[in-house]
Amino acid sequence: MRLHVGCAMWTHAAWQGRFLPGPLPPGERLRAYATWCNAVEGNTTFYATPTRATVESWAAQTGPDFRFVSKLPKPITHEHRLTGADDQLRAFLEAMEPLGPRTHALWVQLPGSFGPADLGTLAAFLHRLPRSYRYAVEVRHRAFFEDERSERLLERVLAAVDAEWVPFDTTTLFAAPPTSDAERDAWTKKPRVPRRSRALTDRPIVRYLGRDATDRTVEGWRPWLDTVCAWLREGRSPTVFIHTPDNADALTLARRFHDDVRARLPQLEPLPEPMDDDEPLTLF
C-alpha cells in the first residue's frame, strides 16, 4: 500500500535554507526535492518542451518509483486546442522518453473555454495518443461539474482510453476572502469549481489548493483523507499534490498529508526521512 505525494514544483526560493540546501545548481535541485516527496507536477513543460538532455537529468536525479505528472505544452492544449499540433506533440513525447516509468501520467490541462461541445475533439485526440503512456485530463468548464449529462459524457470519453479525470480542488481557497497577496492573486487565477472525488481508474490524481495559513489548509483537506484512505483500501494507487497560494510550506504539508493518511492506515508504506538542509546529496 503506497501513497505518492508532492508539490507543484521541485524548486522554490522559500524552501532554500529552510528545507533544502541552497543555493543548489539546477542538476541537484530535483534530487534534493525527491528526498522529501515521491511525486511532482511537471508544470514547466506547459511553457516549453524541455530538451532531451534536461529530461535525462531529471531521470538521473530520481529513483525509478518517483512519479512525474507532466503537463502537455500550452501550444497543444490552449493554442491549437488539441488539433493541428502533431509536430509539437511528437517533439514533446520524444523529449519525455528518458523518464521511462517515472512518467506516471501525461497531463492534459484544458482551458476553461473547452466545454462539452468540444468532447469529440478530446476523444479524437486521446485515441491518437500512444498507448505506452497513461493520461490524465483536467477540465475547468463548469458544465462538467454542474450538468450531469456533460459529466457522464466526459467520463465516457476518458474511460474509453483508461484516462483519469484530475480534480483541482480549490474549495478551501474560495471558502473565505483572501488575507494575503498570494491568496488575492490565486483568487484571480485559479478555477472556482465544485470539489470532485470520483476516481475513474486505479491511479487517481488529486490537486488540492489550501490557504497560506496551515490550519486552514489542513482543515480543508479532511474530506480527501476519507477519499484517499478508501481508494487505498480498494487497491488503488493515488497521487496527491498539495498546493498553497505561496507554496512556502508545501513540502512539509505534502508530507503531513501523507502522515495523516498513515495515521489511519498504519500499513501504508512510509516516506523516506527527508534530508537536512546541510546534508550532502547522494546518488540513488
pLDDT in tens, 259-280: 999 999 999 999 988 876 555 4
Write 113-118 long-range contacts (CB < 8 A, 24+): 113/141, 114/81, 114/139, 114/140, 114/141, 115/141, 115/143, 115/144, 115/150, 116/141, 116/143, 116/144, 116/147, 116/150, 116/153, 116/154, 118/81
pLDDT at 276: 63
Q: What integer is the mean pLDDT of 55-83?
A: 97
User: What confidence tier does 284 reach under pLDDT thresholds 50, 70, 90?
Assistant: very low
Q: Which pLDDT tens digit goes with each residue over 147-172?
A: 999 999 999 999 999 999 999 999 99
Q: Would the CA dihedral through 159, 221, 240, 238 be positive or negative?
A: negative
Average pLDDT over residues 44-64: 96
Q: Is 70 exceeded by the pLDDT of residue 126?
A: yes
pLDDT per residue as tens digits for the range 181-226: 999 999 999 999 999 999 999 999 999 999 999 999 999 999 999 9
Picking from 159, 226, 217, 163, the residue whose alpha carbon sits closest to that of residue 197 is 226
Predicted pLDDT at 25: 87
- Shortest CA distance to 20 belongs to which of 284, 282, 283, 281? 281
Give the global pTM: 0.95
DSSP string, 60-91: HTS-TT-EEEEEPPHIIIIISTTSS-HHHHHH
SS3 content of the chain, % helix, strand, coil (to 5): 45, 15, 45
- Ranking 9-13, 72-76, 103-107, 224-228 by mean pLDDT, the lowest is 9-13
Instruction: Say whether pLDDT at 241 is over 70.
Output: yes
The single-letter code of the amino acid at 132 is S
